[in-house]
Amino acid sequence: MRTRLVWLGEAACVVSSLCKTVCHLSPPTDPLSEADMQVLLQATGCSSEMQRPLCKTGCLSERYRSFTGECNNRSHPKWGAANTPYSRWLPPEYEDIRGVPRGWDPEHTYYNYTLPPVRLISQNVLYTHNENISLDSSLSHLLVEWGQWIDHDFALTPQSPSTAAFRTGADCTRTCSRDTPCFPIQIPLSDPRTGIQSCMPFFRSAPSCVRSEAFTGATPHHHREQLNAITSFVDASMVYGSSSPMAAALRNHSSPLGVLALNDQASDQGLAYMPYLGTRLCGVAIIVCLWVKLPVFCCLGDSRANEHLGMIALHTLFLREHNRLVSELHLLNPHWSPDTLYQEARKIMGAIHQILTWEHYLPRVLGETPTSLLMPPYKGYDPEIDPSIANVFSAAAFRFAHVTVQPMVARLGPGYSLAPQHPPLPLHHSLFASWRVVQEGGIDPVLRGLLLSPAKLQMPGQMMVEELTERLFQAQGGMPLDLGALNLQRGRDHGLPGYSSWRGLCGLSVPNTTSDLAGILGNPGLAEKFLLLYGTSQNIDVWVGAISEPPLPGGRVGPLLACLLAKQFRALRDGDRFWWEREAVFTSTQRAQLHTVSLSRIICDNTHITRVPSDPFSRTVSPEDMLACSHPLIPHLNLSAWKEPDTDPSCGPIPRLQSGFSLLCDSVIYYQCGPGYQLIGPSSVTCDPNSYQWSPAPPICHGREWARGVCVCVCVREREILIKALQSTCMSLVLYSD
């Protein structure tokens, strides 16, 4: 109970004076009244987090997933849902029972050694001159970009809503004192930045109100657990949102086609951009863009959409793809309502992301042979598998691609040639610079650069480019940050056990000596460097240890990362009731068509680019190797399999509505009237197996003249919570993460 009060108080410090009182209790000595607890639960949002959702029944609940991910698993309706704790594959190892981060006290020892400062590790192990890199001979930079894109589909760790120390009120961006939520990264005396700055700001991740179901009873105390603010499922939630209010804010409700909202102030040579932030969220969300000094070009959507040019390009690409899908579906099924068109396109988009990730992306990351061994063929939905994202996956394992990022952002003109109007950019000049897309050629130059540029090759001595360790957000003003140090500090904040513990979990050999570690890493010099820094391999932070392993044959990650990635992706597949291969989700004809999808086709259909590689994740050496979009190897997705039948085998023709919409789901027809009309009669009819007729009699749509032309203004009811999440992401400045 006391531990939970501390967490509630931490989450609520910025919303009520009562909460501030709780924050100063260490540990709390006076139990709160039931009324006080209810105030805290409401103020922090914990009441909704702790409440078990009521799951709908019926055909539509089987056909479309919820926005929040709730009720995907009907026995465990919170598994994989937004705003639930990350799962744990190993118990956390905090500095104390209250969840103090590893390394909070610089003098605290682990296995008889103190932990080295994360900035010291970054400088000695990760730092790589921009010019001192090797290029991947097989993979394109679009593969790197896809990794971050898909990460934004299943993980977002909200940080503390407060930017000031709870006890002293000190500004976390200025203080070097460790006082929750401030966990600043200290600058060692040997660091080149010594004398310029003493520390880098870092905010602790916000704690969950509830404990994870994992390891219940394994530890004597309620351990601190972090939240995943979005759905764990690969469902294209970065396009649609992970809540009903956010999904509503992203739609164009005046359209009869169920399209996503478009930018009404600018276009990309006639093609759509994402809408700008502003009055769409009742005028409050604009403060996020003001904070990063981009009030005009900040785009509405996932809070990380504006991080850099590649993210803006992919967000824009898939916004256009959704709208293209609903237009084609409308031609096939003109009787479908805007909601049905929207949901069907959303369902197809989710399947596209699953296919591109599991069949195109993962084999290149893990290697073909490890993929077949670690990811056996799909055998069906298993309701006993928890698909929730694991803490170690989000905070460490899936950050492996940070060491494959190029220091330059290539932008190419038509024909994949250099163009003076949009030259290549140093990476730090592309961060929070989405205005460059609008003013410097649209998304086409960015996508061409991603298609033709190779990924950076991860090698010992060539880990993370200085653009990320020395210049992160330098172009936005203030002191630059260090992505490598941020990753390491995040793992310690989340209480992730050390490298050796995770090797043990995966059934891999655990290094006990320098020679053991040298054999695993294939590099005696790197092994000696690690032990000089950490004293023992048990203390090596899991992220830096995992990325240091040599890759498996044909892949780009070593044995530990292959194990952790495969474990998570297998759970995401097998624990998803709406997985695209499950028999009840799509028909066999639809599945056959979905299997033909390619990212190259999506680029062809939604940009002005006319030549693409047959495999966009593989490196294309020369523009001459690109194929015309009309080439047979770039097939179209044939949506004819989505045409709804006009007759039922038993009850005959489907009754349609004049001035209304209908949807056939199993043997039930659902009805809805268009704007300005009222439904008179039942909202659904069923095929009666005895009379072979539709029962009851179908409804009609009755005109309501007074309602025609009414414009409904949609405002996001939970905008304060949304903006806090957006602010937290922007102010944390954690690129390529969560």
Which candidate in 76, 141, 152, 222 is catalytic? 152
Tokens representing 603 are: 């680029």
**Phi and psi, residue 473, nearest 5°:** 65, 20
Cα distances from 501 to residues 115, 229, 374, 507, 518, in angstroms, run: 16, 27, 20, 10, 17
- Closest of 336, 345, 344, 340 to residue 662, by C-alpha: 336
The H-or-E segment that residue 652 falls in is strand 652-653
Say if CB 665 and CB 648 are below 8 A apart.
no
HSE of 417 in the Cβ direction (CA atoms, 13 Å)?
4
- Closest of 230, 728, 215, 201 to residue 497, by C-alpha: 215
- In angstroms, the CA 172 to CA 182 distance is 5
Q: DSSP of 566-584, one letter per residue?
A: HHHHHHHHHT-TT-TTSTT
Q: What angle do CA 720, 723, 726 make, to 5 degrees?
A: 155
- Residue ranges of the binding site: 402
The H-or-E segment that residue 412 falls in is strand 412-413
- In angstroms, the CA 450 to CA 452 distance is 6
In which residue are the tokens 């033909």 written? Answer: 596
The H-or-E segment that residue 525 falls in is helix 524-534
497-518 as b/e: b if 16+ CB within 10 A? bbbbbbbebeebeebeeeeebb
Q: DSSP of 62-88, one letter per residue?
A: HHS--SS-TTSSSSSTTTT-TTEEPB-
- In angstroms, the CA 388 to CA 85 distance is 8
Instruction: Please return the burial class of 460, using the count of CB atoms within 10 Å of its CB with bins 0-12, 13-18 and 19+.
Output: middle
- Residue ranges of the binding site for heme b: 402
Sort strands 127-128 and 464-465 into parallel, antiparallel or unpaired. Answer: parallel
Please state the separation of Cα 323 from the chain's center in Å: 21
Contacts of 45 (CB under 8 A, 6+ apart): 11, 83, 209, 721
The two counts, helices (H) then strands (E), for the chain are 27, 24
| Residue 152 annotated in active site | yes
- Closest of 174, 288, 155 to residue 228, by C-alpha: 155
| Active site members | 152
